[in-house]
Amino acid sequence: MTLLYSIFVDPFVQMVQMPDLLAQTLWEGLVSGVLYALIALGFVLIFKASGVFNFAQGIMVVFSGLTLVGLYEKFAAAGFSGPLAAFTALALAVLVMLILAMVIERTVLRPLVNQPDIILFMATFGVTYLLIGFGEMVFGGDPKQMITDQLFLPRGAYDVAMLGGHVSFQKIDIAATVIASLMIAGLAIFFQKTRIGRALRAVADSHKAALSVGISLNQIWVIVWFAAGVVALVTGIMWGARSDVSFALQIVALKAFPVLILGGFTSVPGAIVGGLIIGIGEKLGEFYWGPLVGGGIESWLAYVIALLFLLYRPQGLFGDKIIERI
C-alpha cells in the first residue's frame, strides 16, 4: 500500500505542493530535450535522404565541437585570439564538416550503394572509430572548455521568482533553445522553398524516381551529410557550453535513439516532439520516481518510454505508415 502510494500519489502531491521545483524540472527536461532533438535531427536528415542509419552522428557532434575548440587553441597558441579568431575557427570547422561529408560520400556511400541497411549501418561504425582515433590524435583526448565568450554566447543565470519560489534559467540554455529553434525553422524553409530542398525531398521519397528526373544522388548525399554536420556542429557548441567537449558526449548521443524511434526515423517534427517528450519524461521520472528504486534510472527510462510508445505505434509517432508487400 505504501508502495502504491509512493508510486501513484506521492509524486503528484509533491508536484502540486512545490510548483517551483516542478517548473525547474520541466525546464531542465525541455533543454535536454532540445539537445536530444538536435542530435536526432541530424540522424533524420541523413536517414531520409540516403537511408543510412548514421551511428556516427554522435561522434560527429563531438568531433565538430573538438575541431572548433582545437583550432581556436592552435590559433591562440600562435597569438591570434579573440572573437575574430573564434569565428575564423567556426568557419574552418564548417569547412571541415564539408570535407568530411565529401570524403564519406566518396569512400563509404558510393561504393556501398544498394547494400542492405545493416551494412551501411556498420560502415558508419567504421566512420565512428576513424573519427575517434583521428580526433584524439590531432586534438588530444582530454575534455576541453568550449569557447563561449569568444562566440558571444551568454553566461550566468536568470533567477525568476515565480510559483512561490525561485526558478533559475541558465542563459546558455535559453540561447541554446533559441538557436535550435532558429536552425530548425531555417532547415524547414530550406526544405520547403529552395530548389535543393525539393530535390532532397524527392530523394527521400524515392531514389529511383529522383534519379530518373535527373537529380544527382551523390550531390544530394554530400549536401545532406554536410547539413547533418552543421547541425552536429551547433549541437556540439551548445552541449559543449553546458558541460565541456569530450568523448563522453557520444554516450549521451545514444539518447537520440529513443527519440528517433519515438518520433519515427523519417520525420523532422517527430524528432523535435520526440526529443521534448523524452527530455521532459526522463527528468520528471528521475526526479519524482527515481528515488524509489535507488536513482540512476535516467540511463534507461528514455528507452522504456520509447518502447511503450512503440508497442502502441510501431512506426513511431510521426513515422510513415509501414506498408509491407510480398
Partner 1 sequence: MFYREAGQFKQSYAADQAIFPIRQDRIGLAVILLIAFVGIPLFGNEFLLASVMVPFLILALGAIGLNLLTGYAGLLSLGTAGFMGVGAYAAYKLSTIFPEVNILVWILCSGFFAAAVGAVFGLPSSRIKGFYLAVATLAAQFFLQWCFVRWSWLYNDNASGAIEVPARTLFGIAITGPSATPVTRYLVVLTIVVVMTLIASNIVHGRIGRSWMAVRDMDIAAQLMGIRLLPVKLLAFAVSSFYCGVAGALMVFLWLGAAEPAAFDINLSFVLLFMVIIGGLGSLIGSFFGAALIHILPIAIRMLPDALGLSIGAATVEHLTFMIVGALIIFFLVVEPHGLARLWQIGKQKLRVWPFPY
16-25 contacts at long range (C-beta below 8 A, 24 or more positions apart): 18/165, 19/163, 19/164, 19/165, 20/162, 20/163, 20/164, 20/165, 20/166, 20/167, 21/165, 21/287, 23/162, 23/163, 23/167, 24/167, 24/168, 25/283, 25/284, 25/287, 25/288
CB closer to partner 1, 147 vs 258: 258
Query: Least separation, in Å, of the C-beta of 143 and partner 1?
Result: 16
96 binds partner 1 (CB under 8 A): no
Stretch of residues binding partner 1 (CB under 8 A), selected from 81-89, 124-132, 183-191, 227-235: 124-132
310 binds partner 1 (CB under 8 A): yes
- Choosing from 125, 152, 158, 190, the residue that interacts with partner 1 (CB under 8 A) is 125
- Choosing from 79, 164, 214, 294, the residue that interacts with partner 1 (CB under 8 A) is 294
323 binds partner 1 (CB under 8 A): no
257 binds partner 1 (CB under 8 A): yes
Cβ proximity of 202 and 210 under 8 Å: yes
Q: How many residues in the shown chain lie near partner 1 by CB under 8 A? A: 51
122 binds partner 1 (CB under 8 A): yes
Any idea what DSSP says for residue 209? H
Cell of 275: 526529443
> What is the Cα–Cα distance from 131 to 157, expressed in whole angstroms?
35
Residues in contact with partner 1 by CB under 8 A are 53, 107-108, 111-112, 115-119, 121-123, 125-134, 136-137, 141, 251, 254, 257-258, 260-261, 265, 293-297, 299-300, 303-304, 306-307, 310-311, 314-316, 324, 326
